[in-house]
Chain A
């Protein structure tokens, strides 16, 4: 059994080197802006750039909107399919897998051709319309993750009993979803939300092709024109992603596990 443990350590060490060296190298490079000694100048330069603040704010806003819209679209659908329309389940599984099969660049190409300014629904005809389209595109990108998070959350609670109890007490369907189901799957929904945020915040392809002032295109632009700021931005992006994932891990500890399973 000794050799297997040796190989396990060897594989782990190799993996750790591959994954940590680029982070260290990037960090080291980001400190080299001032000649001769290390400084945080590149970070100061990034944070004081108005374009950084504006694009980061814009992408955060679109991200939050995408999360809200995603929850509004996914939660009722999963609820009704679980409760009353189980035959739609395979269809939902299939649809939510599609964004993993159809590349984002193909989707946005379809949007641009389908919803141009002379079409029936001219999303790309105005700035506001394009913002709405971008939000919907991000909901689509995050759909596989949001759906799975919500579905897992609902599997862990007793949807049927909760619904019947609320109905007996006179609650309407909207009340049941908003005030009974949603609070019970909040942890799952929030995991989906943070994952959505992590995907959306630095997204480049769709934002760039829809010509919106988002963080992803800003990153690309800085990468093409500056020397040290890109590595500072890479570290910042990594920390943002880490923050979003860390929140998911933290939330997982609060997930309800005591409820009865019905299926």
Chain B
């Protein structure tokens, strides 16, 4: 550690020593566990290499679980992105009072982290059978949302709940991009005779597009891996992939460890695909912008 007179080869090893804990940590707690599951997905009960586990994913309950998960994640990601973008545009470009903007940003920081079990409690108190909104709608307007087919333990109930952390996350991530839309650009467009619609069609949205798309994939992955909210909301009654995997880890519900690993692998493949799609499209979009 007498660094002042270090010859450079020893200093080089010192640098690696500083980075080593990080690399070791990443290997032990990120890379190895994931690779282990990836490997286990291709091993059968008798210890031989097999594709049976992967084929097992495309059957009955598991396929249905993937389908519901993908729909909930996609719906909450798309709606979260649309409403989040609308709110961001309203707050930043809609000439609302400045304090509102910082209030919205602060609240988004809190709400995007207010996920998990407490969020489920909040929505049960709001839209559950005895929830405040449910009862108010019934007594004031004579609208029984449960008789109309709504259920907090359903696809739309879960999507509506997920939006509570998806919208704020969208706001937090897309706000810098919206800030990057300079006033001069819309002024220049106006000077050249462009309508508001033309400005957004040819300048505003093309500039925002990559960050919107990128956040969309992030929101998708965020919802796809989320389990705590869904579990606290519905118990194990809703058949989505994370809940199925939870039951598998808890008590080998599929009665096949290899199939469990394949289930986890499928989740990683889907979230990874979402991110690759983003990378491809955003680099292409950047090339278009030049």
Using CB atoms and an 8 Å cutoff, list the residues of chain A in contact with chain B.
4-5, 7-9, 11-12, 15, 18-19, 21-26, 28-30, 72-74, 76-77, 79-81, 83-85, 88, 92, 95, 97-114, 136-137, 139-140, 167-168, 170-174, 176-177, 195, 198-199, 202-205, 209, 216, 219-220, 223-224, 230-231, 233-234, 237-238, 241-242, 244-246, 248-249
Contact with A along B1-45 (1 / 0, CB 8 A): 111100000011011101101110110111011101100100000
Whether A242 lies near B228 (C-beta < 8 A) is no
Does B125 reach chain A (CB closer than 8 Å)? yes
* Interface class of chain B by DSSP: helix
Whether A12 lies near B87 (C-beta < 8 A) is yes
Whether B90 lies near A219 (C-beta < 8 A) is no
How many angstroms between the C-alpha atoms of A24 and B22 in the bound complex? 43
Given A105-B249, A168-B4, A219-B117, 6 more pairs with CB closer than 8 A: A12-B96, A25-B133, A103-B226, A170-B4, A172-B2, A220-B228
Whether A9 lies near B94 (C-beta < 8 A) is yes
Does B86 reach chain A (CB closer than 8 Å)? yes
Give every chain A residue within 8 A of B167 (Cβ-Cβ): 15, 18-19
Interface residue from B2, B18, B37 paired with A106 (Cβ < 8 Å): B37
Whether A113 lies near B3 (C-beta < 8 A) is no
Does B221 reach chain A (CB closer than 8 Å)? yes
Whether A102 lies near B132 (C-beta < 8 A) is no
Q: A111-B33, A172-B3 are in contact. Are A105 and B232 (CB under 8 A)?
A: no
How many angstroms between the C-alpha atoms of A189 and B263 in the bound complex? 36
How many angstroms between the C-alpha atoms of A99 and B25 in the bound complex? 13
Whether A72 lies near B231 (C-beta < 8 A) is no
Listed from nearest, the 8 A-B pairs whose CB atoms lie closest are A8-B94, A110-B33, A103-B225, A77-B22, A25-B132, A204-B228, A237-B118, A29-B125
Give the residue among A22, A104, A114 with the most B Cβ atoms within 10 A: A22
Whether A167 lies near B3 (C-beta < 8 A) is yes
Interface residue from B91, B94, B113, B126 paired with A198 (Cβ < 8 Å): B113
Whether A103 lies near B271 (C-beta < 8 A) is yes
Contact count A vs B, C-beta below 8 Å: 266
Whether A171 lies near B225 (C-beta < 8 A) is no
State the Cβ distance, A224 to closest chain B Cβ, in Å. 7
State the Cβ distance, B9 to closest chain A Cβ, in Å. 13
Interface size for B (C-beta < 8 A) is: 87
Give every chain A residue within 8 A of B163 (Cβ-Cβ): 18
Whether A136 lies near B29 (C-beta < 8 A) is yes
Whether A80 lies near B106 (C-beta < 8 A) is no
Whether B164 lies near A22 (C-beta < 8 A) is yes
* Interface class of chain A by DSSP: helix
Whether B19 lies near A88 (C-beta < 8 A) is yes
How many angstroms between the C-alpha atoms of A110 and B123 in the bound complex? 32
Give every chain B residue within 8 A of A28 (Cβ-Cβ): 125, 132
Does B95 reach chain A (CB closer than 8 Å)? yes
How many angstroms between the C-alpha atoms of A3 and B254 in the bound complex? 56
Q: Which residue of B lies closest to A224 (CB)?
A: B235
Give every chain B residue within 8 A of A83 (Cβ-Cβ): 15
Q: Which residue of A lies closest to B226 (CB)?
A: A103
Q: A4-B94, A23-B122, A204-B232 are in contact. Are A109 and B4 (CB under 8 A)?
A: no
Whether A107 lies near B34 (C-beta < 8 A) is yes
Whether B110 lies near A242 (C-beta < 8 A) is yes
How many angstroms between the C-alpha atoms of A101 and B123 in the bound complex? 27
Whether B87 lies near A15 (C-beta < 8 A) is yes
Give every chain A residue within 8 A of B25 (Cβ-Cβ): 73, 136, 139-140
Q: Which residue of B lies closest to A195 (CB)?
A: B113
Q: A26-B125, A139-B25 are in contact. Are A102 and B227 (CB under 8 A)?
A: no
State the Cβ distance, A208 to closest chain B Cβ, in Å. 8
Interface residue from A23, A76, A113, A136 paired with B40 (Cβ < 8 Å): A113
State the Cβ distance, B269 to closest chain A Cβ, in Å. 10
Does B121 reach chain A (CB closer than 8 Å)? yes
Does B210 reach chain A (CB closer than 8 Å)? no
Give every chain B residue within 8 A of A103 (Cβ-Cβ): 221, 224-227, 242, 267-268, 271
Whether B90 lies near A113 (C-beta < 8 A) is no
Give every chain B residue within 8 A of A76 (Cβ-Cβ): 18-19, 21-22
Whether B221 lies near A24 (C-beta < 8 A) is no
Give every chain B residue within 8 A of A84 (Cβ-Cβ): 11-12, 15
How many angstroms between the C-alpha atoms of A180 and B95 in the bound complex? 43
